[in-house]
Amino acid sequence: MPARTLMIQGTASSVGKSIMVTALCRIFKQDGFRVAPFKSQNMALNSFVTRDGGEMGRAQVTQAEAAGIEPTVDMNPVLLKPEADAKSQVIVQGKVSRSTSAEKYYQQTPGLIKVIEESLNRLRSAYDVVVIEGAGSPAEINLKAREIVNMRIARMAQAPVLLCGDIDRGGVFASLVGTLELLDEDERNYIKAFIINKFRGDVNLLQPALDFLEKRTSRPVLGVVPYFRDISIAQEDSVYLDNRPASPPSADLDIAIVHLPHISNYDDFDPLEDEGCQVRYVTRPGQVEGANLIIIPGTKSTMSDLLHLWRSGLAESIIRQAKQGTPVIGICGGYQILGRKLLDPQGAESETDSALGLGLLDVVTTFTADKSTRQVRAQVANSRGLLEGTDGYEVMGYEIHMGQTEGGEDMSAFHITETPQSKVDYLDGRLNTQGAVLGTYLHGLFHNPGFRRALLNGLRRRCGLPEKWDNPIAEKEEQYDRLAELVRNSLDMPAIYRILEQGIT
């Protein structure tokens, strides 16, 4: 029997759909079901590489972790990664298909329906429950005829829909009612109930509005989920970076992360804040001053973002701080930016054929059309400077990059020893001669606890701060359990099980 399905749609982007799917995956797992997440089409710069080298959205990886299963590209068969010049790279079943404009993409979406349906059917044949996530709003009337992620998927999966709204933004009741009104009658039949998300305050004061909503729409409100800050779950949308809570007063190291226009995989840095560091995302030259560490993160459009750094004055500011002794780390595209030059003779990454890098590492990157996507195991190759005290440490990570980086006198940072498929033997990244500038292609580097604490304590010694070896981070499994407990206690779970059992009838 194919798995039962349940779909979470929202009144807008960033209302909490991904988190709600994550919580439900954990709850169903706790209740003894084999459960998998699914999102037919995801637009995100946070991506992940599966064991077999496929690329997929990071949110579905988080949801799979909460479900206790290995992530596969079937959970996110179509991934769109926005690029410069109003284009997106289209990744189908984990592999790069093409780069295209929005107009051309929407002309091509009917051809992706079969791929999506095949992925969904494989999941339904392997699990008891599939929890499906929509995107944006199902009531975007300009997109409805061509969308492949909301009501079209609900029909395909015969999935009852729970509609989620964000009360923290205001206007949640108008959003819920308005979304329902803009749907076609047959689409409205799929909406079985509402969820109010991100509530602050006394829920009893909300009851009259909930009663009105249920009477107006003839649909129940399954519950009100409180706004939370103390549960650490990876965020999908970069809008999160603009509304992050301030670091606690006890934070010690000041880490400035450059908020590139096409920043990607910023969840690489979540563990730094969880370890007690002050993490700031900076956009202006003066904001990097005073930092104990500057990080240039990954980017989907390296050449474009490098030119942005020069135009904004951030490039000169980073160079000046590095020359004054501030350590700098570049991850993936940030590593490429740290080099002397970027070359793109084939136009694989942009329309700019060459650009000067920051010159903080003696390397040159040449872009080609090939894209490297692999999980890796590595060892620290040179334990000096930023890597002092990490000798012998082993790290796990993954590579997602276009271009090859070759260098001169700088020292390699990591020795790659293994992929899930085989033993390998090659070097990654660079340390400059002083050891204060580090570049690497390894995403997920700071998710390795021992390595992370050794690197941060090296920075603390450098700054005259006391070392920290106690781990303040609750294990990831505990975080998922805490999220599940919060949502389980907030929602009418017996009603959700009835909706799951009844389907769309």
CB atoms within 10 A of CB 148: 21
Q: Give the model's confidence band at 174: pLDDT under 50 very low, under 70 low, under 90 confident, else very high.
A: very high
Q: How far apart are CA 357 and CA 337, in angstroms?
A: 5
The pairs formed by 477-485 with CB atoms below 8 angstroms and a separation of 24 or more are: 479/231, 479/232, 479/233, 480/22, 480/26, 480/65, 480/66, 480/233, 481/26, 481/30, 482/231, 483/19, 483/22, 483/23, 483/26, 483/66, 483/231, 483/233, 484/23, 484/26, 484/27, 484/30, 484/66
Same domain, 382 and 483: no
Residues 162-168: what's their mean pLDDT? 97
The pairs formed by 414-417 with CB atoms below 8 angstroms and a separation of 24 or more are: 414/378, 414/379, 414/380, 414/381, 414/440, 414/442, 415/378, 415/379, 415/380, 415/381, 416/376, 416/377, 416/378, 417/377, 417/378, 417/379
| Domain assignment present for 276 | yes
| Domain assignment present for 357 | yes
Same domain, 279 and 314: yes
Same domain, 399 and 269: yes
Same domain, 298 and 338: yes
Residues 84-106: what's their mean pLDDT? 88
CA-based nearest residue to 298, from 319, 325, 269, 277: 269
pLDDT(48) > 60: yes
Check which CATH number belongs to the domain holding 455 and give it. 3.40.50.880
Same domain, 151 and 297: no
- Virtual torsion, Cα 468, 472, 475, 481, nearest 10 deg: 180
Q: What is the pTM of this model?
A: 0.88
At residue 442, φ and ψ (nearest 5 deg) are -80, 105
Crossing angle (nearest 10°) for helices 58-67 and 17-30 = 20
CA-based nearest residue to 318, from 348, 342, 354, 288: 288
Pairing between β-strand 95-101 and β-strand 87-92 as defined by DSSP bridges: antiparallel
Same domain, 259 and 391: yes
| pLDDT for the residue numbered 351 | 84
The DSSP result for 202-219, as a single string, is: -GGGGHHHHHHHHHHHT-
Query: Amino acid identity of 292?
Result: N
The DSSP result for 292-350, as a single string, is: SEEEE-EES-HHHHHHHHHHHTHHHHHHHHHHTT--EEEETHHHHHHSSEEE-TT-SS-
Residues 62-66: what's their mean pLDDT? 97
CB atoms within 10 A of CB 50: 23
| pLDDT for the residue numbered 104 | 87
Q: pLDDT tens-digit profile of 19-44?
A: 999 999 999 999 999 999 999 999 98
| Domain assignment present for 142 | yes
Residues 388-408: what's their mean pLDDT? 92
| Domain assignment present for 135 | yes
| Domain assignment present for 132 | yes
Q: pLDDT tens-digit profile of 197-243?
A: 999 989 999 999 999 999 999 999 999 999 998 888 876 655 555 55
| Domain assignment present for 30 | yes
List strand residue ranges (DSSP E) for 60-182, in order. Answer: 78-83, 87-92, 95-101, 129-133, 161-166
pLDDT(266) > 70: yes
Residues 475-479: what's their mean pLDDT? 87
Q: How far apart are CA 300 and CA 280, in angstroms?
A: 21
Residues 176-197: what's their mean pLDDT? 97
The 3-state DSSP class for residue 122 equals: helix
List strand residue ranges (DSSP E) for 335-456, in order. Answer: 341-343, 354-356, 363-380, 394-407, 414-418, 423-428, 430-431, 437-440
| Domain assignment present for 127 | yes
Tell me which H or E stretch contains 261.
none
Tokens of 7: 């779909």
Asked if 357 and 338 count as a contact pair (C-beta separation under 8 A), the reply is yes
Q: Give the model's confidence band at 482: pLDDT under 50 very low, under 70 low, under 90 confident, else very high.
A: very high
CA-based nearest residue to 382, from 306, 460, 439, 314: 439
| pLDDT for the residue numbered 253 | 95
pLDDT(108) > 70: yes
Same domain, 298 and 328: yes
Pairing between β-strand 87-92 and β-strand 78-83 as defined by DSSP bridges: antiparallel
Q: How far apart are CA 48 and CA 419, in angstroms?
A: 15
Residues 305-310: what's their mean pLDDT? 96
Q: How far apart are CA 500 and CA 210, in angstroms?
A: 22
Q: Could you give the count of Cα atoms lying within 13 Å of 395 in the half-sphere of its Cβ?
A: 30
Q: How many residues does the chain have?
A: 505
Same domain, 302 and 443: yes
Catalytic residue IDs: 332, 443
Same domain, 167 and 285: no
pLDDT(248) > 70: no
Q: Give the model's confidence band at 334: pLDDT under 50 very low, under 70 low, under 90 confident, else very high.
A: very high
Q: How far apart are CA 270 and CA 456, in angstroms?
A: 14
Q: How far apart are CA 326 and CA 320, in angstroms?
A: 9
pLDDT(245) > 90: no
| Averaged pLDDT of the chain | 93
Same domain, 335 and 391: yes
The DSSP result for 150-174, as a single string, is: SHHHHHHHT--EEEEEEGGGS-HHH
CB atoms within 10 A of CB 370: 11
The residue behind tokens 């439900």 is 24
Tell me which H or E stretch contains 11.
none
- % of residues, the chain, pLDDT over 90: 82
pLDDT(95) > 60: yes
CA-based nearest residue to 447, from 48, 81, 82, 76: 48
Asked if 21 and 162 count as a contact pair (C-beta separation under 8 A), the reply is no
Same domain, 330 and 371: yes
Q: Exposed, middle or buried, 462 (CB in 10 Å: 0-12/13-18/19+)?
A: middle
Check which CATH number belongs to the domain holding 139 and give it. 3.40.50.300
Contacts of 53 (CB under 8 A, 6+ apart): 94, 373, 374, 375
| pLDDT for the residue numbered 1 | 82
Same domain, 452 and 490: no
- Total domains in the fold of the chain: 2
| Domain assignment present for 237 | no
Residue ranges making up the domain that contains 486: 4-41+109-232+478-502
